[in-house]
Amino acid sequence: MNGSDIGAARQFLDEALCEVAELEHSLCLQYLYAAFSLKVRPDEGGIDVVQTELVREWKGQFLLLAREEMLHLGLVLNLQAAIGAPPYLRRPNFPQPERYYPLGTVAALEPFSLAAVDRFLAYEMPAALLPPAPTAGDDAMTARLTVGQLYDRIRAAIVAADERELFIGSELRQVDTVAVIDPEGVLDGETTTGYGVEPFAVTCQASALHAVDLIVEQGEGADEAGPDSHYNRLLRIRAELLAEAEAARRSGRPFEPTRPALDNPLVVPAPDAEGGSLITAPLAREAAELFDAGYALTVLMLLRFYSRVDESPSERSVLQRVLFFPLMTMFTRPLGEILTELPAGSERAGPTAGPPFQFQRGLSLIPERGVALRVFGERLTDLAARAQRLTGRMRDTSTPPRLTHRMELIAKDLARIRRSFHEATKGAAHD
């Protein structure tokens, strides 16, 4: 294979990996939104004590699916590093029409519902269940693909390329995602990887193909016979939802498992999205802006984490401890759930808000290590201050004490994260 051929192969793979990175990133957020929208207490109304347990199980499943999408995204970023491509974490804002991706499926932040589950099933559908594709004409050019088929194209390109010429990237940029998800070894090593995904460095054709196959076989493109595939887990949730709704109808009991969160919430109109629902209530807007600022910091840290070549192991560990456990579990999840309970507008009985996950301009790699650490520290300081102010405003309004207390905990956790980060990076931010 000459230089022109390998260059074309590398460019094709880079573009294809960017596409699936967008999809994994986007689907992770959509699963999180569905999880955050589910009720968890009988006093929210619409569910009784027994139904609450079922709904909590669904919430846990969606959170697990989101984590597995993160693991898949990590493998895609490792594949990009292996072929010498930069990490790709950009994506369009929600919603996106069916034509945006070749899956023929809308990308949207929507509360849990039968329609939302059906949309997720369309994402995760095994290729074997698709109708036969046209073989000629315009219909063949626009035929729907599954996520698994997108990965099949990547697999074919890896097989066709010269192995010695393709894998030129540094292993230093690759991440053992198990260590990232569980840096302190809190969880057992046999169970921290989700649905059989064991992240690893990609260094050759065999490891690259193994990464692709793990994602396809154990995630979106899994064989329909696999009981623990994403597709079949979603099928079980769908069946349980229909059965519970029918049982409630027959007995005359209510069954409303979902908070009335907005579809595709926004704090400002997004020029790259077709539609969206603006949050207008001042308190919810402030909470949503805080949420998006934290999401932006997460993306910036991820870009740096998957681009690092000069950090020491201890410096990488700092980003792990701040990014993956505290920031995601002590900020993203609780504030996302709070937003699904805050009124989105002036009508208290109207829809609630929801986390926008709005993607901002300027979310690009900060290449200098010291500069990046300084910016991260500044943003953590800003997050902590804003969380404290929001807590005060919630105390001064008629916000339910339960939500105010959760916000107080978020503010305290952010202050603790900020102190820990500044102490751990003291001096390094000026190198």
Cα gap 378→366, rounded to integer Å: 14
Cβ distance 71 to 199 under 8 Å?
A: yes
Domain tally, the chain: 2
My answer on whether 375 and 236 are in the same domain is no
| CA angle 31–152–158, rounded 5-degree value | 120
Among residues 234, 259, 284, the one where a domain terminates is 259
My answer on whether 93 and 121 are in the same domain is yes
Measured between alpha carbons, how far is residue 203 from residues 66, 169, 330 in Å? 26, 8, 34
Cα gap 218→197, rounded to integer Å: 7
Measured between alpha carbons, how far is residue 40 from residues 46, 152, 406 in Å? 11, 39, 15
Give the single-character DSSP code of 95.
P
Residue 425 tokens read as 């990076």
Which string of b and e fits 16-39 if b means at least 16 CB within 10 Å? bbbbbbbbbbbbbbbbbbbbbbbb
My answer on whether 94 and 21 are in the same domain is yes
CA atoms within 13 A on the CB side of 194: 26
Q: Which of 250-264, 317-331, 346-360 has the highest mean pLDDT?
A: 250-264
DSSP assignment string, 176-231? -HHHHHSTT--S-TTTTTTTT-------SHHHHHHHHHHHHHHSTT--TT-TTSHH
My answer on whether 251 and 358 are in the same domain is no
Torsion of CA 371, 373, 378, 381, to 10 degrees: -170
My answer on whether 167 and 74 are in the same domain is yes
The answer on pLDDT for 156 being more than 80 is: yes
My answer on whether 280 and 410 are in the same domain is yes
Coil, strand or helix: which one is 142?
coil
Among residues 203, 231, 259, the one where a domain terminates is 259
Cβ distance 26 to 241 under 8 Å?
A: no
Amino acid 242 reads L
Q: Please state, for a pLDDT cut of 70, what percent of the chain lies above it.
A: 85
The answer on pLDDT for 375 being more than 60 is: yes
The answer on pLDDT for 288 being more than 70 is: yes
Residue 419 tokens read as 């102190």
pTM, rounded to two decimals: 0.91
Give the single-character DSSP code of 278.
E
Per-residue pLDDT, averaged over 266-280, amounts to 92
Per-residue pLDDT, averaged over 85-113, amounts to 91
My answer on whether 288 and 141 are in the same domain is no
Cα gap 267→327, rounded to integer Å: 21
Q: What are the tens digits of pLDDT across the range 167-190?
A: 999 888 888 755 554 444 443 333
Lowest mean pLDDT among 49-53, 139-143, 181-185, 236-240: 181-185
Give the single-character DSSP code of 14.
H
The answer on pLDDT for 268 being more than 90 is: yes
Query: Residue 368: which CATH number?
Result: 1.20.1260.10
Q: Can you give the residue range of the structural domain that contains 36?
A: 1-259
> Which of 317, 326, 429 minimizes the C-alpha distance to 376?
429
pLDDT value for 185: 43
My answer on whether 355 and 251 are in the same domain is no
My answer on whether 271 and 214 are in the same domain is no
Residue 95, preceding peptide bond in cis (omega within 30° of 0): yes
Among residues 259, 281, 303, the one where a domain terminates is 259
The answer on pLDDT for 195 being more than 80 is: no
Per-residue pLDDT band for 132 (boundaries 50, 70, 90) equals: low
